[in-house]
Amino acid sequence: MRELHADVVIIGGGTGGCAAALAAAKSGKSVIMTEETDWIGGQFTSQAVPPDEHPWIEQFGCTRSYRTFRDSVRDYYRNHYPMTAEARVIPNLDPGNGSVSRLCHEPKVALAVFYQMLAPYINSGRLTILTNHKLHAVRMDGDNVLSITVEDRKHHDFHELVAPYFLDATECGDVLPQAGVEYVLGAESVDQTGEPNAVVGPPQPNDIQAFTYCFAMDYLEGENHTIAKPETYDFWRNYKADFWPDKLLSWTGSNPRNTAESVRYELFPGTKYFPLFTYRQIADPKNFQTGLYKSGVSMVNWPQNDYWLGSIIDVPEEERQRHLYGGKQLSLSLLYWMQTEAPRPDGGQGYPGLRLRKDVVGTEDGLAMYPYIRESRRIKAEFTVLEQHVSAFVRNTGKAEAFHDSVGVGSYRIDLHPSTANRNYVDVSTYPFQIPLGSLIPVRVNNLLPAGKNLGVTHITNGCFRLHPVEWNVGEVAGYLTAYCLQYGLTPRAVRNTPDELKKFQAFLYAEGVEYFWPTMYAV
């Protein structure tokens, strides 16, 4: 086994992991970051999810480095793509013109930008990235992590990674159980948290939001790109959950903000119903010179391919693989249904011209390298953010709770997708909120920090903390915090719980472009 040393080891090269690596390396620390898939970037790349952001993202409400990422994505298109003259000069260019976001773009462009931002540290040797490396084991000494062993899945050997600080930036909080870190999974009860939307009765650790295997497709009218019939298509074609208004493979779904109502969808714009193709469109031909794109390219992350039949966290490996396979089969069945049976406005059935774009996501099966994970294991933290801290329905102050130890900001509705407990959407208006440093510090372990969705939030507040800008902010602060602690001989706990040190750290973050307070804003 090869032993590698660094100042900071980051397990997981997703959105939070990359932000953490950038922060720690920029601060002069040596960093090793591992990633389970071929691509770093997480939600932006290997999960193929265009960014979900708040209404003010172009002006404020994110870190400077996150804004650099967004600007660099736009510049990448301007510098490398044959765009129309009109599109090239749009300040807030949206390459896909998708309705979900102000910046819908291709995963490979995000991947290029991540490597572009990290290039100085990779090329100087300060940052080592190990792709296709999966967590294998954690070695502890009391309340401290000594090393983490990862498996090189291509060469079938192992590396033991040794550092004074470790960050868990995995999508499911995979380091936590192996390190013996106290954590929570699933839904807390009202008795535990007092949250209005927590479950009544005992907690439900297996009540976890659906995951989704996203895929990209375009549409070539008059051509036939129908895929082979998926193995479990007949099951999905007839599947209807008790809480869902129609079969899952249909143009009818639940209204997230009022689940007693249904919503009608259509594939393309043209009638009064919500068009799904343009919802997460990542390439709009109108932005590019004629002929570059034969069609718009859409990323399919829709209600119809949310998989809620079982959890992939803290279950036996055979069960995990069964549900991962089920999630893939659902997404492929959705595509096959659209190609062959989906009702069209003209009275016909099927859109055989829908083409699965395997090249966009970089896989042989055409599905994203990794499922879109909405909910992770979450540390038991020094401070846990509750619904009462952010909900517009609970608070009568006109703003979210102000945290003395704020180290960032975020804004999104509490948006819980249907869950493995056969629960429908939970959707709650929130005020723009702060990220407290206490939510990044485990109650016991000293040198392991969360750097993604695994911070101290609840099943409910995870619904507004799980989005791209917040995950980036959490990862970036975790990276800066480890570097700060190494620089000044402190522990994360001491930084938070020593008033003078906390003020110094907040001032350091602010100088590095981390916003940690909001102007007066309205609820979303």
Q: What is the pLDDT of residue 278?
A: 97
In whole angstroms, give the CA distance from residue 489 to residue 491: 7
Beta strands in 12-65 (DSSP E): 31-35
What is the pLDDT at residue 283? Answer: 98
H helix intervals, 341-467: 358-361, 387-390, 462-465
* Contacts with 368 (C-beta within 8 Å, 6 or more apart), sequence order: 46, 47, 48, 213, 214, 215, 361
Closest CA to 165 of 424, 495, 516, 510: 495
Instruction: Name 56's Cβ contacts closer than 8 Å, sequence gap at least 6.
Output: 411, 521
Question: Given this model, what pLDDT does residue 88 score?
Answer: 96
| R_g of the chain, CA atoms, integer Å | 22
Average pLDDT per block of 10 residues along the chain, 524 residues long? 96 98 98 98 98 95 98 98 97 97 97 98 98 98 98 95 98 98 98 98 97 98 98 98 98 96 96 96 97 97 98 98 98 98 97 98 98 98 98 94 98 97 97 98 98 98 98 98 98 98 98 94 87
Q: Is the CA virtual torsion 330, 336, 339, 340 positive or negative? A: negative
Query: How confident is the model at residue 521, as a pLDDT?
Result: 80
Q: Report the alpha-carbon distance of residue 470 to residue 132 in Å, rounded.
A: 25
- Per-residue model confidence (pLDDT) at position 396: 87
Nearest to 2 by CA among 150, 128, 170: 150
The total number of residues written for the chain in this structure? 524
Structure tokens at 237: 């074609």
CB 91 within 8 Å of CB 32: no
φ, ψ of residue 434 to 5 degrees: the values are -105, 160
- Plot region of 186 (φ>0 → left; ψ -120 to 50 → alpha; else → beta): left
Q: Which of 153, 194, 188, 415 is nearest to 306 (CA)?
A: 415
Q: Taken in order 58, 376, 14, 402, is the CA torsion positive or negative?
A: positive
Token code pair at residue 334: 């959705």
Round to whole Å and give the CA distance between 20 and 10. 8
C-alpha to C-alpha distance for 81 and 91, rounded to whole angstroms: 16
